[in-house]
Structures are given as structure tokens and as C-alpha cells.
Amino acid sequence: MRATDAFLNVVLDSALDEHRPDARDAGLVTELVYGSTRRQLQLDEAIAAHADRKLDAIEDRVLAALRIGAYQRFYLRVPPHAAVAATVDAVKEVGLHRATGFVNALLRKLGDTPPAGHSHPAWLAERWARHFGPERAAAMIEADNLTPPVVARVNTTRTTRDEVLASLPGAKATTVSPLGVVLPPGQPEELLGFSEGLWQVQDEAAQLVGLYAAVPKGARVLDACAAPGGKSCHLAAEHDVVALDVHANKLDKIRREAARLGLKVDVRQGDASKLPESLGEFDAVLLDAPCSGLGTLRRHPELRYRRKAEDIPRLASLQRAMLQSASERVKPGGLLVYAVCTTEPEEGADQIELFLRSHPDFTAEAPPSSGVPFPTWQAYLRTLPGPEGMDGFFAARLRRMY
């Protein structure tokens, strides 16, 4: 694959759709691509120590091959000769015959132990240590470097969690969400229940946002940043949902998911920072705002290298504009639910405290008792990457009083 700014999962899914390897090969390719991306800084350190040129002077595809070869040696326990041979063959297959000698020689020089390190940029590791303490920061970093499980939310309009668990050998219930199922290994689309619309892939932390919202049954709900549609479909099981997204090319995916699940969702294009009065007012508005995504680095490992510290205030400014716009579409007495898949206070609790200071007609409110042991911080829902096995999310539930 060539260098690109596209999300890793989009590029990989496209390549797998094009070449259609069998399930075993697809699983190996996925592990190599994601694993080498998660460990990229360590792999690059090892490669740089034995290369006769700087990394930025190495052709993109050759460097990618070296990372994958090194990853096999360090983390997959592939015999050295096999890792070297497979990588050299791959370089030949993409027409880079001139690089085979360089790749062969460099990979043979590598030992079997990777350099010490955590493959997170220093600014992020330091920020997390400052915000969460060294011990928790270390746990977050360790979790980001592990392969995450595939988790699904049960479609309660068609089945129950017990029925899904009974139908999928190897599946297990999530710890906190009463709707969650950790799926057994394999492509989700090929598992029993997918085509029947019995469940939808969604991380446990994202499921908790919908549960924490605790929107009263039958409410009219606006999902203002709806793609890829997980929360819209969750809400549509019990509510009348209008799903907006600014990206027209993402709307069909939401429609297809709703149709697969047998749910009714009114999908429209719209900009959450400029919601028109013609939409009317809603009993509840969910704003799952664009954010740094730093709570999802185990699923989107490339973000750790793309994000910069200066992105956080820029995104916080966009979130403020969206919060203002979303608040104007909430009925008096209604709910505004704000969510972000990030660990950063400026995009989470600090953002909400700033909003509440300038909006005296809103107040933070805990959800009614439901028996779900929500992980909270102050008055808000907060999950962090770590041994709990979830992505990092923040959510606030705000009541408009008048």
C-alpha cells in the first residue's frame, strides 16, 4: 500500500475487498498491518540502527515492508529466515526488485528483541502522565498496543443478549454494558446473526454513551454527527431518530445499517455547527462531536502519529460551535448529550464546564438509576483505555431547564 492520509481501516478494508484472501490470510494481513502500525516507533528505531541511510530516504513501500518484516521477528515469533524470505518475496511482488538486497541484509541484522519503548509520541505520553498519573498513563499506553476485541451491541428489537451468546460459540458478555457481546474470532460479517440484523459492531464504551443518555422512550431525537451510525441505530430501537452528518458519502452507510437491523432512521445531510431552525426542536440531541480520537488508538493506531498537541485546542473550538448550535435545537425540559471518543479534558469535562458557565439554562444531570455501573468522573461518564478493555470516551448529560 502507498502512503496515504486515509484511515488505516478504510485502506485495509478496501485492499481486502479487492484481493479477497481466505479468512486465515486476511487475519494475518490485518495483524501485520495493525501491529506494525502500533509498534511503528520501536520498529523504526530498530531499522534505523542498521540502515545505511535515513528513514525518510527509504521508499515508502520498502519502509513499510521492513516494518512488517521486523514486526514478524519481534512480535509474532516467526523464525528469522521465514520473516526475511517472506518480506523479500513481498518486495519483489510489488516490483521493487532493486530493493531486495537492502531488505534482505537489513532484516538479517535485526535481533529478536525490539528496542525498549511504547510507540507513543513523547508529547502524548507526557500529557497522559500529567493528567492521569504515571501508573494509569502506562496502562493506557499498554492497552493501545494490544489487539482489541471486536464487540457488538445486541439489537433488542430482534433478540436478547442471552440468545446471541447461545448462538455464537466463544462469544462472551461485556462487563459493564448489558447489551454488549465480545464476538469470537473471525470476520463479523461472516458470523451468525450479522446478516439477520441481530447485532451491530460497537465498542462497549460507545454503547455506554447510548445507555448513559437514558432518553425517555418515544422521544424525538437528533443525532447531530451520526456517522458511522452506531449510536443512531442504538437510539432508534426506542426513539424517533433524525440522523445528520455533514459528509454526504457517509449517509448511505447509516441507511444500510438501519435497514439491516430493521430500524427506521431519518437520515439527512447537515452541518452540526450550523443546525437550521427548520429542523425544529427535539426532546433530546446527541452531539457525538469530532475530536482528537485519542481514546481509540488501539483501533486507529495511525492517529498517534498524526495528531499533534495543537490539534486539541483547534478541535475544542469546533466542538464549542457545535455545542452552541446543538443546544438551540433542544426543547425546554429536554436533553443535550455530548460525547467524544477522546481522553483529553479540553475536549471533555473542561468543554462542558465552559458551556455550562455561559448557558445558565442548562445543568449537568446524572442518568436515572438503571443498575448499569457506569464508570464516572465528577458528574460525567468517562472510560479510559486500560485493563477494563474499553476505548476512551467522555459523555455529559445536560438538561435544558427553560
Q: What is the pLDDT along the chain (402 residues), one digit of tens a residue?
A: 445 567 898 888 888 888 888 888 888 999 999 999 999 999 999 999 999 999 999 999 999 999 999 999 999 988 999 999 999 999 999 999 999 999 999 999 998 899 999 999 999 999 999 999 999 999 999 999 999 999 999 999 999 999 999 999 999 999 999 999 999 988 899 999 999 999 999 999 999 999 999 999 999 999 999 999 999 999 999 999 999 999 999 999 999 999 999 999 999 999 999 999 999 999 999 999 999 999 999 999 999 999 999 999 999 999 999 999 999 999 999 999 999 999 999 999 999 999 999 999 999 999 999 999 999 999 899 999 999 999 999 999 999 999
Task: Identify the CATH number of the domain defined by range 8-109.
Answer: 1.10.940.10
Instruction: Give the pLDDT confidence score for residue 377 in this predicted structure.
Output: 94
How far is Cα of residue 159 from the mean position of the Cα atoms in its chain?
26
Q: Where in the chain is the domain with CATH 1.10.940.10?
A: 8-109
Q: Where in the chain is the domain with CATH 3.40.50.150?
A: 202-400
Rg (CA), the chain: 23
Active site residues: 341
Residue 146 backbone phi and psi in degrees, to 5:
-100, 155
Task: Identify the CATH number of the domain defined by range 202-400.
Answer: 3.40.50.150
**HSE of 285, CA atoms in CB hemisphere, 13 A:** 28
Helix (H, G, I), strand (E, B) or coil at 360: coil
Question: What CA–CA distances, in Å, run from 352 to 28, 115, 319, 335, 338?
Answer: 42, 41, 10, 14, 8
Residue 226 backbone phi and psi in degrees, to 5:
-80, -30
Which contacts qualify for 127-135: CB closer than 8 Å, 24 or more apart?
127/309, 127/344, 128/343, 131/343, 131/344, 131/345, 132/343, 132/384
Question: What CA–CA distances, in Å, run from 137 to 127, 140, 143, 377, 391?
Answer: 9, 5, 10, 16, 14
Residue 348 backbone phi and psi in degrees, to 5:
-115, -105
CA distance 382 to 393: 6
291 CB contacts (<8 Å, ≥6 apart)? 315, 319, 340, 341, 342, 344, 347
Question: What CA–CA distances, in Å, run from 239 to 83, 154, 363?
Answer: 53, 16, 23
Q: Residue 396: in which H helix or E strand, if any?
A: strand 393-400
Instruction: Give the pLDDT confidence score for residue 4 in this predicted structure.
Output: 58
Residue with cell 422521544: 219
CA distance 294 to 315: 12
Give pTM, 2 decimals.
0.94
CB 253 within 8 A of CB 227: yes
Residue 275 backbone phi and psi in degrees, to 5:
-70, 125
